[in-house]
Structure 1
Amino acid sequence: MVGHGIAFEKLYQRLFEGQSLTVTGDAYQYKNLSKVRCGSACSMYPGCVSWAWEPSSWACNVFYFLTPTKTRTPALASTQTFGFIDGHFFENFPSPVSMTWAAAKSACQSRGATLVVPAHDEQAKLLMQWVGYDYAWVGIWRQPSGLTWFDVFDNVMGSLYWASGEPEDPFEWGSYRVPSRGLVTTPTTARTYLPLCKVLP
């Protein structure tokens, strides 16, 4: 799993500290905190940019400063790390895998999160920079050749920031691709995309 910076053109390397995993930089460290309490600790600190929680040890690290690095380090798959952007926590999945939109939705739900739609293109760019990949599933869908788009809770979506030439018929599932600079429609076949998940503390 690789940690990525929120600032443009920077990477942030994660480190092992005991059995828990952190990010390089300065952090407040807590023991015996649940994931919810760890996220709450970040939300209550104005300078928090990331937080990591290790379920096996209940160790929580709330980061208020990150140091840029040039390398990437493999990490424990069990560690759950989140970026704090525009009032939401976005979970960083460990690596892109081939999956359908429905599988991406289930992957988010299995972690207590939901497949998310970033509020605007600039937010999406920050999130994609955080996960360190150019392709991601997002939480929008429609009926075959339908005109109305829904979120994962079946709520009707308003105006969406589509890439040029989108939405393309008859594709039903939503993704975000950095090269396209906007939301893109995708067939329901498996794609090597990350699920872009949101979890609230």
Structure 2
Amino acid sequence: MARKKTITKLQILNAAYEVVRTEGFGGFTARNIAKKMKCSTQPIYLEFKNMDDLKNELFEKIKNYLKQEVYSNEHTGDALLDACINYIQFADKEKVLFRALYIENHLGIEKMHKISLDFAMRLMEENEDTKNLSKEDKFELFTKIWIVAQGIASLISSGLLPMNEEDIESNLRDALSDMILGARYSK
């Protein structure tokens, strides 16, 4: 009679996420994940071909988390501004995970950048002030927004720039307004 499987793929994925969330990718080892689950490494290798396979599935979990739980929270009613605020709040609240994803580049900077780019491009398609911009102008606008949001997020996450929520919103609102205005009238 075969042994009943007691540890699922989802449990392993959740444990891997918690390890990365609290320790960064320095702790992303089969041994650490198994320790988190209080089991041997065997279930990990039964469910995943190798650690790269687990890392790829972890990326999908993180991508969904960012889209559904981080970027989508409403603060101001301006979805583009809210996405920037959410990104900065994520950097402040989840310092280790933020660093692992956006500073240390463990999942691939292109893949992480694409999540933010795709989300922002969709928001710009829906925004009255940006929907009529060309794709190139939207990309250029995203790049400018990304530089500001990433800069503030990195500085806050590292403790170099203490800002309250009102200051973050005010600075972002001013920067976005100037950038959008510039994008609309530069051509």
Work out which structure has the larger RCO, using CA pairs closer than 8 Å and 6 or more positions apart in sequence.
1
Instruction: Settle same-fold status: TM greater than 0.5.
Output: no
TM-score, normalization by structure 1 = 0.29
TM-score, normalization by structure 2 = 0.31
Higher strand share: 1
Larger Rg: 2
Higher helix share: 2
